[in-house]
Amino acid sequence: MTKLGVNYWPGYAGPRMWRDFRPDEIKLDLEALRGVGIEYLRAFTFWPDFMPTPTRVEPVMLERLREFLDLCHEVGLGVHLSLIVGHMSGENWSPVWLEDQLHRDPTALYRDPLLLERQEFFARTVVAAVAGHPAVAAYVLSNEIPIYGGSSDKASVGGWVKRLYAAVKSLEPNIPISVGDGAWYCMGEDNGFSHEHDQDILGPHLYLPERTPETQLAAYGLSIGTARALAGGREVWLEEYGASQNTFGEEEIAKFAADVALEARMHGATHVCWWCGLDFELIHDLPYEHHAFELVFGLLNADRTPKAVAHALRRAVSQPLPNLPEVGLLVPSYLHERYPFSWEDREIVKRALLNSYATLRRLGYAVRIVLERQFLEKGVAPKLLFVPSTQKLLAPTWRALERYSSLERHSSLEQHGSLGQGHVVYSYFHGSSTVHQGAWIDRPRSFFGGKPRNRYGLPEQPPSRLRSSHGDFALPSSENIFARTPLLLEPEGATVIGRDEFERPMWLRLENRDLILYPLEALASGPDEIEAIYRAVLESIQQPAPESPALVEAVAADD
């Protein structure tokens, strides 16, 4: 069962909670949240209040923290306690003694020996004060510290994580720990934080605008699914997501929240946490004075009455998951790793993945993220593997895809525990820049089953139609003449299934490999421009798309 949580500040105070501590008011908040099905809170030891000097953790604040945990336990709420909290709701909040140094160099948090010692001292002191409390269900090292401390190198950040993780584990060895960084590396952000760092949980924080509802849901699914693939058996929690009811409708937010919660569960997320518990009426207080939309992010109104999103989330985390056939989506390592002189088109890679994911979900599949390096190392993927609009793969990956989609069994796949032959659906991307065009492949004739005929350094006439016995389809377009350049191929073994309006081969099959020689997914604005072609491909390989299941519907009325 997926656990449902909220990030918590009391409605009367926001981040001023600890200096204006009102247990009776807080208890009313907690009871109201528990009443709508909340099982845990993510709470924050606000650093400026808890550590007023470099060598002192305020005893009064620790007493209030213990009393808060008592209240949570009394009403049946677990607590995920966030420790180094210098960023919150659109503002950075430093202890007075730290302001000047962080103003000069925020990344000193990760590597300055004295600052590391002080952060470890703070973490140890707080954890020691609450160790063993029955309400504490997890520790979170920070709250989105890349916003507070900035981006740094992986080694420095890893050292910071390792030190704090070890300090907390030494006192609470059986309590899971999240870094609290947001896990933004899942979608390619390079800030020094990594799944490789010490942590028991990967916890994405996601606020993702998109062009269509389906690609928006795909963005959440791709992020959480990638976290699951990176986790290596550790749990994945959707540690934070939400939507402000400023100019966004209450019913619309409820549907969005429920759809994302269901998608997260389909990727194995065991916790889903909404930002935040309550609305505020604090228009003259920071940060709300300048970030007014932060006032209306709540699951509950300021008077503690539930919004539609509260009921929708409660149902979304408890309803049975749909039983859907699984399809794989290969994520190139170029999205997450930094290779020298590669001029990566990360935004185009993401666009292709989102459009492919959204289309497959529309067609009724559960999408499993397959990371390129994991596929290369283990040779394991669902029987049907999509590789959308891909220019760049590691050199061995092209051959691994050939073996995977071969009609012959390969001992290397069997040794890795593969299910046997798979079917690969690949679409070509020529590249969008004026350098390093064409697929980055060394044996194109073997992979594509034909002889390439593109001219070097020149765009080719783009197609607008794909014609086959399975249908006549319009192809998406682009203003970038290189991005819309197809692969021109003279077949030498591959079977031509579809051609463009110029009679050039545009859809081929070689063994268990379907090859679309044009970047459908990279250029499409959404699933509408891809669905018919995907459906035709699936039907042509005798795997008709299942009926699309309805996503969870968010309604205002309680059960």
In a domain, 321, yes or no: no
Q: How far apart are CA 514 and CA 532, in angstroms?
A: 15
Q: Provide the CATH number for the domain around residue 29.
A: 3.20.20.80
**CA–CA distance, 507 with 350 (Å, rounded to integer):** 23
pTM (two decimals)? 0.94
Q: Which ranges in 337-467 belong to alpha helices (H)?
A: 346-362, 372-378, 395-404, 411-415, 444-448
Domain boundary residue among 316, 343, 364? 316
335/311 same-domain check = no
Looking at residue 29, its pLDDT comes to: 98
| Amino acid identity, position 258 | A
Examine residue 550 and state whether it is found in any structural domain, yes or no.
Answer: no
Angle between helical axes of 308-316 and 250-266 (0-180°, round to 10): 20
According to the model, what pLDDT value does residue 549 have? Answer: 45
Q: Are residues 332 and 310 in the same domain?
A: no
Same domain (yes/no): 311, 331: no
Statement to judge: residues 300 and 404 lie in one domain: no
What residues make up the domain containing 191?
A: 3-316
CATH number of the CATH domain containing 470: 3.40.50.880
Q: Do residue 371 and residue 453 come from a single domain?
A: yes
Residues 381, 429 within the same domain: yes
What was the pLDDT predicted at 137?
A: 98
Give the SS3 label for residue 278. Answer: strand
Distance CA 298, CA 309 (A): 9
- Name the stretches of the chain with pLDDT < 70: 409-420, 434, 547-559
In a domain, 553, yes or no: no
| Cβ neighbours for 24, distance < 8 A, ≥ 6 positions apart | none
Contact 383, 427 (CB under 8 A): no
Q: How far apart are CA 461 and CA 525, in angstroms?
A: 21
Same domain, 364 and 482: yes
For the record, the structure tokens of 52 come out as: 């007023």
Whether 258 is in a domain gets the answer yes
Strand partners, 40: 5, 78
Contact 151, 189 (CB under 8 A): no
378 shares a domain with 277: no
Domain count for the chain: 2
**Cα R_g (the chain), whole angstroms:** 26
pLDDT digits (tens, 9 = 90+) for 109-131: 999 999 999 999 999 999 999 99
- Whether 559 is in a domain gets the answer no
Clarify whether residues 372 and 269 are in a common domain. Answer: no
pLDDT tens-place string over residues 27-72: 999 999 999 999 999 999 999 999 999 999 999 999 999 999 999 9
* Judgement on whether residues 281 and 342 belong to the same structural domain of the protein: no
At 547 the pLDDT is 60
Q: Is residue 278 part of a domain?
A: yes
Same domain, 27 and 171: yes
Closest CA to 360 of 507, 537, 238, 188: 537
Residue at which a domain ends, from 263, 294, 316: 316
Q: Please give the pLDDT value at position 553.
A: 34
Q: Are 26 and 68 in contact (CB under 8 A)?
A: yes
In this structure, are 302 and 332 located in the same domain? no
Q: Is residue 251 part of a domain?
A: yes
Closest alpha carbon to 261 in 212, 325, 311, 326? 311
304 lies in some domain: yes
Which of 272, 296, 316 is the endpoint of a domain? 316
In this prediction, residue 542 carries a pLDDT of 82
